[in-house]
């Protein structure tokens, strides 16, 4: 009996030591690096930088500069450019509709914008933070969390009166 129990106990102990206690979940964070890599860059450069950050991403042809990711949290990024400079002045981040309320809150807290962390379902919140305009919508038509980050806009001087 001891000969069969000891190896079995040893095997069980080895398996218990090697098995992780809990499966590792992906970190719930707002993609600050991706947004900052795209803002104020020429659209082509911003697209390439985002493809480096999301290697499996695909660019959707069309009038919008859409980058669809295979990430579990971020479904797509949409780039808007200033027509005069052809530089990205706004990035829209659309998160997966499968995210729970707790996961959405965790993501909003990582933006560093306190007002966004207070967002409730069905609301839209806007705030200026670190020289950028942040706008979050709890649910778009598909029920996704959407966060828009805009760079400050250049204001043209008013024409002089003659």
Q: What pLDDT digit, counting tens, does each position of 5-37 carry?
A: 555 555 454 455 554 444 445 568 899 999 999
Partners of 95 in the beta sheet?
A: 74
* Residue 136, in any domain of the structure: yes
* Residue 25, in any domain of the structure: no
Supply the DSSP symbol for 87. Answer: B
pTM for this entry:
0.75
Neighbours of 152 (CB within 10 A): 11
pLDDT above 70 for 162: no
Tens digit of pLDDT for each residue in 77-131? 999 998 888 899 999 999 998 888 889 989 999 998 888 888 888 889 999 988 8
Distance CA 131, CA 79 (A): 18
* Residue 103, in any domain of the structure: yes
CB 95 within 8 Å of CB 85: no
The predicted pLDDT at position 66 comes to 94
In the chain, how many domains are there? 1
* Residue 85, in any domain of the structure: yes
pLDDT above 50 for 63: yes
Domain that includes residue 69, residue range: 32-150
pLDDT (average), residues 50-65? 90
The predicted pLDDT at position 157 comes to 52
């Amino acid at each position: 009996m001891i000969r069969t129990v000891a190896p079995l106990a040893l095997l069980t102990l080895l398996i218990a030591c090697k098995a992780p206690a809990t499966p590792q979940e992906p970190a719930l964070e707002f993609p600050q690096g991706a947004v900052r890599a795209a803002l104020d860059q020429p659209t082509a450069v911003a697209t390439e930088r985002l493809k480096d950050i999301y290697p499996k991403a695909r660019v959707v042809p069309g009038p919008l500069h859409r980058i669809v990711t295979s990430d579990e949290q971020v479904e797509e990024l949409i780039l808007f450019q200033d027509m005069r400079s052809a530089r990205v002045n706004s990035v829209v981040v659309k998160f997966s509709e499968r995210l729970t309320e707790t996961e959405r809150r965790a993501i909003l807290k990582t933006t560093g914008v306190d007002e966004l962390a207070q967002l409730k379902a069905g609301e839209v919140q806007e705030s200026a933070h670190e020289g950028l305009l942040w706008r979050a919508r709890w649910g778009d038509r598909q029920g996704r969390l959407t966060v828009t980050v805009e760079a400050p806009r250049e204001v043209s001087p008013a024409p002089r009166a003659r």
